[in-house]
Amino acid sequence: MTDYPPISDQLSAAAEDPDSDVQDLESVREEGRRKMDWAAQHMPILTALRKEFEADRPFEGERIAMAMHVEAKTANLVELLADGGAEIAITGCNPLSTHDDVSAALDTHEHITSYAKRGVDSEEYYDAIHATLDLEPTITVDDGMDLVAAVHEDYPELIDGIVGGAEETTTGVHRLRAMDEDGALEYPVFAVNDTPMKRLFDNVHGTGESSLASIAMTTNLSWAGKNVVVAGYGYCGKGVAKKAAGQNANVIVTEVEPRRALEAHMEGYDVMPMAEAAEIGDVFLTTTGNRDVVVEEHFESMKDGVLLANAGHFDIEVDLEGLADLAVDTYEARDGVQAYELADGRRLNVIAEGRLVNLAAPIALGHPVEVMDQSFGIQAVCVREMVENGEAYGPGVHDVPDELDKEIAEIKLAAEDVEFDDLTDVQREYMGSWDHGT
Ligand code: RBV
């Protein structure tokens, strides 16, 4: 058992401290609820699933531990699962992405305990992860795999009671697959990230729009005419590049994978090594999921005033330790912007401490509501599938059944009043045959 307190206790204690600017808990919760209601108004998929889950109560008796970005859209997913019968303990999956008011609003629900708090240090972050596991979950829902890691490393005795899990993001799926290859993953986990309904929308449009919006709002700077260096041309990089080009930036892509480099080239972007891009870039945005993408040799050739931001999962894509070593001075240039001044006077500006810029910047709101409705719709039906058919899946990473992905697409199309065609019997037979040649 851990004794890490839920957000309500943390905020109540803070509100009593005369030096703190935390308001009374009731007002904080009301603001959180207001944000949730706004998001819910634009989440037709979760709204449709709510009707189903409230009627069927598919999660009755289940205990779900979750580590996700605790903000308004995620909160609607959490309540959906709770109102479908589950008992839930949730914490953040990034030290800076939690909205405390939303976390507090969630924590009022009879069947939800939220430990998420913004600005926690590394020890508190992991204490909160462990606190969710006190629930002895039957299901885990992760964004980045920190929960699965904590279960396997610190609480292996829980594994027998866990039916399965679901993973939200590219980096989490990547880590899970590495774990699976090592034979170390001991329960089934759905790769939610890899479904078309998630990755083609959330990773591309969500990351693109929200990263650029966060940077613009944090800096009050324009994209037009800037050289924007996008590191990595995966789904997230594609979105960032496309949206930056749409804002009249000159997009430069760096890649390590030849086909992706070629794809970016054929899309009309400049492709070059980071060492060259470093000399001409105005904004650097990493989306690789790897580490040490922008490092000392690059800092040394950058222009004065550049912006450095990360839209990949962890804060290791820009080598901040190396940058700190190089700097003669650092200071907060704006809320959410740390300036590193080098010996020759150049200032390199790091946004949101090199953490997920679309979620961790002070004014960040995460991906747009509509794309998270899709991603969380998949999460919800994956949890339902694990509860209903978990025994059909052995330990390891599993693709989400295509039928579930299509179910979410159909709910969304119906909500948007979009009708689409169906194959005729003749067409269906033709597509299944091999003997109709020229
Ligand atoms: N993401 N969540 C939000 N709740 O506002 N925004 C983005 C939100 C998820 C997204 O699905 C991505 O895969 C993951 O965050 C990266 O941590």
CATH of the domain at 233: 3.40.50.720
Tally of domains in the chain: 2
β-sheet bridge partners, residue 112: 88
Instruction: Please say whether the beta carbons of 337 and 350 come within 8 A.
Output: yes
Q: Are 182 and 38 in the same domain?
A: yes
Tell me the per-residue pLDDT of 214-267, one tens digit each, with 9 for 90 and over. Answer: 999 999 999 999 999 999 999 999 999 999 999 999 999 999 999 999 999 999
Q: Would 1 be classed as within a structural domain?
A: no
Residue 184 pLDDT more than 80? Answer: yes
Q: Would 384 be classed as within a structural domain?
A: yes
Answer whether 313 contacts ligand 1 (Cβ < 6 A).
yes
138 is in an annotated binding site: no
Q: Are 305 and 397 in the same domain?
A: no
Distance 212 CA to ligand 1 centre (A): 15
Nearest alpha-carbon partner for 60 in 139, 130, 115, 131: 139
How far is Cα 16 from Cα 22, in angstroms, rounded to an integer?
Answer: 9
Q: Would 424 be classed as within a structural domain?
A: no
Residue 50 pLDDT more than 90? Answer: yes
pLDDT at 278: 98
Residue minimizing CA distance to atom 5 of ligand 1: 366
How far is Cα 331 from Cα 351, in angstroms, rounded to an integer?
Answer: 12
Q: Would 109 be classed as within a structural domain?
A: yes
Distance 144 CA to ligand 1 centre (A): 10
Q: Would 52 be classed as within a structural domain?
A: yes
Q: Would 300 be classed as within a structural domain?
A: yes
Q: Are 377 and 334 in the same domain?
A: no
366 is in an annotated binding site: no
Structure pTM? 0.96
Residue 331 pLDDT more than 80? Answer: yes
Answer whether 359 contacts ligand 1 (Cβ < 6 A).
yes
Distance 433 CA to ligand 1 centre (A): 41
* Strand arrangement of the beta sheet that strand 270-271 belongs to: 270-271, 250-254, 227-231, 283-286, 307-310, 347-351, 337-342, 327-334
Residue 1 pLDDT more than 80? Answer: no
pLDDT at 187: 98
Q: Are 216 and 189 in the same domain?
A: no
Q: Are 239 and 351 in the same domain?
A: yes
Residue 118's region, left for phi above 0, alpha for psi from -120 to 50, else beta, is beta
DSSP string, 90-115: EE-SSTT---HHHHHHHHTSTTEEE-
Arithmetic mean of pLDDT, 20-27: 86
Tell me the per-residue pLDDT of 26-46, one tens digit each, with 9 for 90 and over. Answer: 999 999 999 999 999 999 999
How far is Cα 428 from Cα 171, in angstroms, rounded to an integer?
Answer: 37
pLDDT at 18: 82
Residue 438 pLDDT more than 90? Answer: no
Whichever domain contains 133, its CATH number is 3.40.50.1480
How far is Cα 378 from Cα 166, in angstroms, rounded to an integer?
Answer: 10
Answer whether 372 contacts ligand 1 (Cβ < 6 A).
yes
pLDDT category, 49, cuts 50, 70, 90?
very high
Tell me the per-residue pLDDT of 301-314, one tens digit each, with 9 for 90 and over. Answer: 999 999 999 999 99
Q: Are 125 and 141 in the same domain?
A: yes
Of 360, 386, 407, which residue sits at a domain end? 360
What is the residue range of 236's domain?
205-360
